[in-house]
Amino acid sequence: MNQAARRLGVFGAIVGASYAGDQASGHIPSRAGRVAYAGIATYVDFKLHVPMRPEEKEHGENNVVDPNMTLYKEELKKFNLRTANRLLDLCLANGGVFTKMGQQIASMNHGLPIEYTSTLSQLQDQALPVSSEIAKAAVAKELKQPVEVVFREFDDKPLAAASLAQVHRAVTVDGQEVAVKIQYPQLAVQMGSDIWSVKQAIRAMNYTWDIDMSWLLPELEAALDAELDFVAEKENSRKIAHLFQKNEFVYIPKVLDEYSTKRILTMEFMHGAKITDINAIKKMNLDPVAVAKHISSLFAEMLFCSGFVHCDPHPGNLFVRKHPTLPNEAQVILLDHGLYRQLDDEFRVTFCKLWKGLLLRDNDIIDDCSTKFGIRRYASVLPLIFTYRGMHSNNKLAGQISKEDREAIMKDLKSFERSNVNEFLETLPRDMLFVLRSTNLTRSLNKDLGGTSRLRFHVFGKYAVKGLVQDHNRSKGQDQMTWGEYFRFQYEYLNLKSRLRLIDAAMGLYQRYHGIEVSGDKLVG
């Protein structure tokens, strides 16, 4: 009995020491253990439940579907969903770097199966906050004063919890309502080991499934370094505010220097509705479609003109309020300025030309731009990615797809599927990955708010032309267009709209002449 008690005591001591060690080290062992468990479980799941991919057969005259390929695709979808849920649980449990990684994966809906992007999109709103005691202790440590001395009020419950920080409402001693962004205290300790764990997981993926995602790591590490420096975020917010100073439909909250450090950021508190809360927007007597246009204009201005692009574009970072001086108008509030990317100027100009080529159906321009991007072999994919239209489409702008165009698109997608999708993502210019995130968000929000595809395309075309017209002016270090450039821009934009109308009219005549049946224009998207 004594021996059993001693063994139990030794076991308890080992467990206690392990727990204490885990606590003291910032939970590094337990976090790494979760990664290992998820990896092993996924590997075993794949080996036991996903059959080998059969040789794909060409369809015969009767268009008979290969049952083996159908079974394989069904099992692969089930496996992808189980893996995505396993990854979601891991990201929620570990938080921090893993939540950020999951958000990055969720944004890659241009190259990853929907099971992953849809499941992991939940991470935008499900990060786990630290307790109010820990948050207040972090604020006191950074500001070198008790919270009660600095703030008259400080809400215990956070307004939002993101991957790397959480936000609390507070009121300063002089009565100003503010939002206090607090970096999670243990991030600095955990980041090195978390990055190491992610590297090992990526190596295991490469070994097991021959999928090389190592190109994602430098981007992830750079993003984390940038977002952990709130001084840099403060400078980003001031730069973007300067760039949009003449756009009265966009507002950037001001930062309070005296209440901010490298790990604490205090800004003016903003009252408004989340960009996806359509009912709240309507209750303010604001038009959601007008809001959609402001969103498209906001990101188009960044992508095509300044090249200074917000790189964490999700609905939680966008709010809407009534314009302070124009009560019938909406004003978009842009939050979270921790991660921006300054696009290479040559890339930005080429992207402007690409959109002009996409809208005008000019395949020579598209080919030339894809060559400059270093992705000439994937030129036919670019219209699909940005406009959901084939390279040689005969549809009107933003119109429904005809049967023959649908078949052509399926042929292009099949050809693309046979190539290495990961190779395509790895070949893309790094700037393009951030551009794709912004355009995907704009498309999604435009649809949710009831904006039309035609409206979004016209907005992007407008700013693509503006970006080309102002290019030589930017080279002189000037932010604003001269009067001569402004009139040239208006002329070029009017010319673009006229050509788009002519092309649509020509496409309509072509479809009627050849008896191509197409339903009405798409309303949203």
Written as one string, the DSSP assignment of 394-457 is -SPTTPPPPHHHHHHHHHHHHHHHHS-HHHHHHHS-HHHHHHHHHHHHHHHHHHHTT--HHHHH
Give the separation between CA 11 and CA 333, rounded to whole angstroms: 55
Distance of CA 427 to the CA centre of its chain: 19
Catalytic residue among 194, 312, 405, 431: 312
Phi-psi map region of 450: left, alpha, beta (phi>0 left; psi -120 to 50 alpha): left
Contact 166, 160 (CB under 8 A): yes
d(CA 499, CA 478) in angstroms, rounded, equals: 30
Question: How far is C-alpha 315 from the chain's CA centre?
Answer: 9
Cα separation, 349 vs 355, in Å, equals 10
| Cβ(194)–Cβ(31) below 8 Å | yes
Give the count of alpha carbons within 13 A of 94, CB side only: 31
What would the two tokens of residue 61 be?
């005259």
Q: Is 340 helix (H, G, I), strand (E, B) or coil?
A: strand
- Classify each residue of 64-99 as buried b or exposed e, where b means 16 or more C-beta atoms within 10 Å of its C-beta: eeeeeeeebeeebeebbbbbbebbbebbbebbbbbb
**Catalytic site residue 344?**
no
Task: Give me the sheet containing 273-274, strands edge to edge.
Answer: 250-251, 330-334, 318-322, 273-274
Which residues are annotated as catalytic? 312
